[in-house]
Structure 1
Amino acid sequence: MQGSSLALRLFVLAAIWSALSLAAAGSVLIAVYRGSAERAFDERLGVYLKTLVGAIAAQSDTAGSFREPDNVGEPRFELPLSGWYWVVRRSADNKVVVASKSLVGDVLVLPSDVGIAPGADRTAKGYIQGPDRQDLRIIEREISFDEQNAFRLAVAGNAGDLNEDITVFSTRTALILALVGFGLVITTYFQVRLGLFPIERMRRALFAIRSGEAERLEGTFPSEIEPLAQELNALIESNRETMERARTHVGNLAHALKTPLSVITNEARGTEGTLAARIAEQAGLMREYIDTHLERARMAAQRRVIGAVTDVEPVVERLARAMRKIFERKGVVVETDIQPGLRFRGERQDLEETLGNLMDNASKWCIGRVSVTARIEGNPRADDRRFLTIWVDDDGPGLSPEKRLEAVKRGQRLDETVPGTGLGLSIVTDLAVLYGGRFQLLDSPLGGLRCELVLPAL
């Protein structure tokens, strides 16, 4: 997919949207799991806290002194610095009354010490840093055994266990969502390709029309682009009708002009005198000019015909045979070197007109050798159009750079002794420009003149 393609845009947008959606879903899942894990952990600590309250209440005396309970439900309360601790403090003086053996005399910071207020269940919860810089999850509750004795009881557990569970879940969730995302990307790619395939099929159909293999868009298309296909077919048909009308008008104009000129010419030839001869001469020139300009109008109309394609090699070979026959007495050798499969994107008559002019001029001016070579350009141009280059070389006297410029001017003849109107090279130049190509005169490797013609190729 190219950088500016519709498929790439759809694919990138879908991939970005999928990635953002999965990332948001992953964040929500992890947040929900974290909340659930914390609640489960708090419930576990709450059980230990209730057990501690019951054990302390059963051992309390009127003086408010306690001894350490035998069992709170977690063996790690007995292990030094295990990360699991409990403590009982007197509310009045914040003095530790009794604590778990795991604290080994260290101080445990309570939620109330850092300003964490109790919730609706009268229990304060939070994260603190315990002995040996351990991360702890702690819950605290204040209870009173009598009116004089109020105590704060707290139970803390190692938050590393909780965080490890959350990390494992987060990693697995990210991995699963990444696999899902990869699957979505692959699915999106094929979905985009499949969804845009009718457009690709339409592009191929249009290429077939341009290459002359088809005359209209055939087949069925999705309802979204079926109107476009119908409009394109209507445009192609309208183009053909317009070109046919133009050709008809050109033919009618040619007939309308040539008939009066024929009458004038015949009348002049039937009359003796200098004036009659001059009229006949000028009428002949007018006929040639009319033929030339009508030919240009025809070429301009044909240039806009969609789907016209011409094989180059048969045209060149046929013209070469004609030149050999026409200039047989002169002994002209016409050599051809045409790249196989070379095709001109245009009307056959236009190619015959231009090459006929160039090969005829070369045969007239050469000493005895004419060469015609045709090749495709190496790379397409910026608009993806391909062009072919045709070189017509001769071994004649050639032309100086100044005379080359004059030779392509309309009606310019460099040698009046050679028959012609001086319009041939001008017509070639006009046709090359009409097709978006170019025409120029250069030095030939054979020693004479090289005519370089660039035209669109298929």
Structure 2
Amino acid sequence: MKPRFDSLAFRLVAGASVWAAVALIAAAFILTSLYRETVERGFDERLGVYLKTLVGNLAMQSPGQLGDPGNLGEQRFELIYSGWYWQVRKSGGPVVLASRSLATDTLDIAKATNVGTVDGVESAVLTGPDNQELRVLSRTIIFDADHRYDVLIAGNASQLEAEIRNFQTSVALTLAVFGIGLIVAVGVQIRWGLQPLDRVRHGLSEMRSGREQRFEGPFPAEIEPLAKELNALIASNQEIIERARTHVGNLAHALKTPLSVITNEARSGQGPLAAKVGEQAEIMRTQINHHLDRARIAARSKVIGAITEVEPALERLVRAMSRIHGDRDLELDVAETLRFRGEQQDLEEMVGNLVDNACKWAASRVVVTAMLEEGDADQALVIRIDDDGQGLTEAEMSEATRRGRRLDESKPGSGLGLSIVTDLAALYGGDFRMSRAPLGGLRAELRLPAVVA
């Protein structure tokens, strides 16, 4: 099943994911910055300890005869190009003392960058031997006017950066796992939170298919009012439909009596006027019945929950037509599980008109088939009625569905059958079409809404 990018679940998960990503990235940046600041401060404090040790050692010596203070308790000051160096330079003059790790090289504080001074101690970044990035602390000690020395301590900053990068990697992996877990947890929470909406959808589907008459719970407090309003709306809709049916019935009875009087009077009279009145009265009766049927059908087709089993309905219809048209061979092919989303009376009226027409025009054989087909948006019930008669031309097919149009006056009927079928199919959201049948005659095809188990 493809994800719906316009669904509530997708929007909530996407929103939570974006917020979690922004929050975790910000947290990673803050944690890394704090860690960098802490590590750099610790590194500088360590350099500061070495600087104080070196200055203290020099302060105890004679200004003009400074001796080697040794490794200051750090063996890396003994290893050549280890990245840890100390140096004593006479202010404005040459280097007088240096750690063994510098070998023959010297450090020039004048080439340093990111220089800052706190309490007389100058901090900076300097490129040392082997292009090492060094963090440097330097201060000037004054013995007297002739003895001023610049004392410098340097540590390998690449070790510091490597440590910070390792921390960044650990933080990134930890927060990524945490973020994925958070998104999964949010998805599960949203699925659980939206489950009542699935029950709402299922309840509406049950009502639409006719398996339920009301919208039943239980539902959470937020959805319970919706369920009550939907049940009230359904009850109101059914009441309106019943009132419409009652009004249609009352109108039919109110018109039937005057029309019967007019028809009887016309029949009892003589002459062309009486014949014309009788003829027009019959046309009025036919038209009134047609439009009253349309009104009744329109109201009934909107009833929620009406379903009809197709196989028994068509079997009864074919048996009835076989008795009426005994000289025709009627065949029925229909699956047992087919169900029509609508009233049984309407299905029988549509198929009955088509089968009756097919029997009238067939040479000897009529085949009725019903199947389930995939439509553009949903599955549809397709009913085909084929005969082996002469069939119709394209122009005659178009003309045949016009209300009251009869292509052959020798056959009995009002000419309203195919029009009623077309109107009924449209009211149910389906359609009716005609084409050439494989038997050689006409194929009448109904496409109607189906109920899928």
2:108 and 2:221 map into 1 onto residues whose CA distance is 72
Task: State the SS of the aligned residue for 2:50.
Answer: helix
Establish whether residue 365 from structure 1 lines up as the match of residue 361 from structure 2. Answer: yes
Determine the structure 2 residue equivalent to 1:387: 380
1:130-209 mapped onto 2 (5 Å cutoff):
130-209=128-207
Q: Give structure 2 stretches of 5+ with no counterpart.
A: none
Tell me the residue number matched to 1:108.
107
Q: Distance in 2 between matches of 1:338 and 1:410?
A: 30
CA deviation string 1:13-58 (max 9, x = no partner): 1112112211111111111111111111111111111111111112
CA contact (8 A) 1:19 1:181 kept: yes
Does 1:301 pair with 2:299?
yes
Indicate conservation of the 8 Å contact 1:312/1:344, yes or no: yes
Change (3 A) 1:282 1:113: closer
**Amino acid corresponding to residue 73 of structure 1 in structure 2:** G
Residues 67-100 of structure 1 show CA distances to partners (whole Å, capped at 9, x for unaligned) of 2113411111111111100111222x14322111
Contact map agreement 1:45 1:157 (CA 8 A) in 2:
yes
What is the distance in 1 between the residues matched to 2:106 and 2:26? 41
Distance across 2 between alignment mates of 1:340 and 1:130: 91
CA distances 1:181-214 after superposition (whole Å, capped 9, x unpaired): 1111110110111111111111111111111111
Once the two structures are overlaid, the 10-residue window that deviates more, 343-352 or 408-417, is: 343-352
Matched residue, 1:377: 373
Equivalent-residue separation in structure 2 for 1:315 and 1:21 (angstroms): 64
User: Partner of 1:419: helix, strand, or coil?
Assistant: coil
Q: What is aligned with 1:48?
A: 50
Matched residues in 1 for 2:260 and 2:110: separation?
Answer: 118
The TM-score with structure 1 as length reference comes to 0.93
- Alpha carbons 1:111, 1:139 under 8 Å: kept: no
Q: Distance in 1 between matches of 2:334 and 2:112?
A: 96
Shift, 1:442, TM fit: 0.7
Residue 111 of structure 1 contacts residue 140 of structure 1 at CA under 8 Å; is this kept in 2?
no
Q: Is the 8 A contact 1:112 1:124 kept in 2?
A: no
Query: In 2 relative to 1, CA 386–162 (structure 1 residues): closer, same or farther, beyond 3 Å?
Result: same
Match status 1:406 vs 2:399: yes
Q: Which residue of 1 aligns with 2:287?
A: 289
Percent of residue pairs bearing the same amino acid type: 54
2: CA distance between counterparts of 1:134 and 1:113?
Answer: 13
Inter-partner Cα distance in structure 2 for 1:243 and 1:141: 98
Q: Give 3-state SS (helix, strand or coil) of 1:155's partner.
A: strand
Counting only pairs closer than 5 Å after superposition, residues 202-221 of structure 1 correspond to structure 2 as 202-221=200-219
Is the CA contact (8 Å cut-off) linking 1:404 and 1:441 kept in structure 2? yes
Corresponding residue for residue 86 of structure 1? 86
Q: Matches of 2:228 and 2:279 in 1, distance apart?
A: 54
| One-letter amino acid of the counterpart of residue 58, structure 2 | I
Residues 114 and 125 in structure 2, CA contact (< 8 A), matched pair in contact too:
no
Residues 310 and 109 (structure 1 numbering): CA distance in 2 closer, same or farther, change over 3 Å?
A: farther
Measured against aligned partners, the alpha-carbon deviations of 1:327-352 in whole angstroms (never above 9, x if no partner) come to: 12x2x121122234222222222111
CA distance change for structure 1 residues 221 and 13 in 2, over 3 Å: closer, same or farther?
same
The answer on whether the counterparts of 1:111 and 1:138 sit within 8 Å (CA) in structure 2 is no
Q: Which residue is equivalent to 2:310?
A: 312
- Change in Cα spacing, 1:298 to 1:94, as seen in structure 2 (3 Å) is farther
1:421–1:115 CA distance, 2 compared to 1 (3 A):
closer
C-alpha distance in structure 1 between counterparts of 2:434 and 2:339, whole Å: 23
Which structure 2 residues correspond to residues 184-263 of structure 1 after superposition, within 5 A? Answer: 184-263=182-261
> Aligned partner of 1:98: which letter?
L
Which SS does the other structure have where 1:59 is aligned? Answer: coil
Question: What TM-score do you get using the length of structure 2 for normalisation?
Answer: 0.94
2:333 alignment partner, one of 337, 343, 349: 337
Alignment partners' CA distance in 1, 2:395 and 2:146 = 123
Q: Given residue 33 of structure 1, which amino acid in structure 2 is its aligned partner?
A: Y
Aligned to 1:68: 68
CA distance in 2, matches of 1:362, 1:255: 33
Structure 1 residues 250 and 16: CA distance shift in structure 2, 3 A: same
Instruction: Name the CA shift for 1:278/1:117 in 2 (closer, same or farther; >3 Å).
Output: closer
Of 397, 400, 405 in structure 1, the residue corresponding to residue 390 of structure 2 is: 397
SS of 1:377's equivalent in the other structure is strand
Indicate if the aligned counterparts of 1:209 and 1:307 stay in contact, CA closer than 8 A.
yes
Instruction: Give the equivalent residue in structure 2 for 1:427.
Output: 420
Aligned length: 449
SS in 2 for 1:294: helix
**Counterpart secondary structure, 1:66:** coil
What are the superposed Cα offsets for residues 294-313 of structure 1, whole Å, 9 maximum, x if unpaired? 11111111122222222222
Q: Is the 8 A contact 2:113 2:125 kept in 1?
A: no
What displacement does 1:278 show?
Answer: 4.4
* Structure-1 separation of matches of 2:385 and 2:400: 15
CA contact (8 A) 2:113 2:124 kept: no
Q: Which residue of structure 1 lines up, in the alignment, with residue 120 of structure 2?
A: 122
Query: In the aligned structure 2, how far is the partner of 1:338 from the partner of 1:146?
Result: 118
Measured against aligned partners, the alpha-carbon deviations of 1:97-149 in whole angstroms (never above 9, x if no partner) come to 21111111212132785471312x32222322111111212211222223442
Kindly provide the amino acid, as one letter, of the partner of residue 236 in structure 2.
S
Q: Which residue of 2 aligns with 1:98?
A: 97
> Which of 93-102 and 224-233 deviates more?
224-233
* Cα separation, 2, equivalents of 1:82 and 1:402: 101
CA distance in 2, matches of 1:401, 1:114: 92
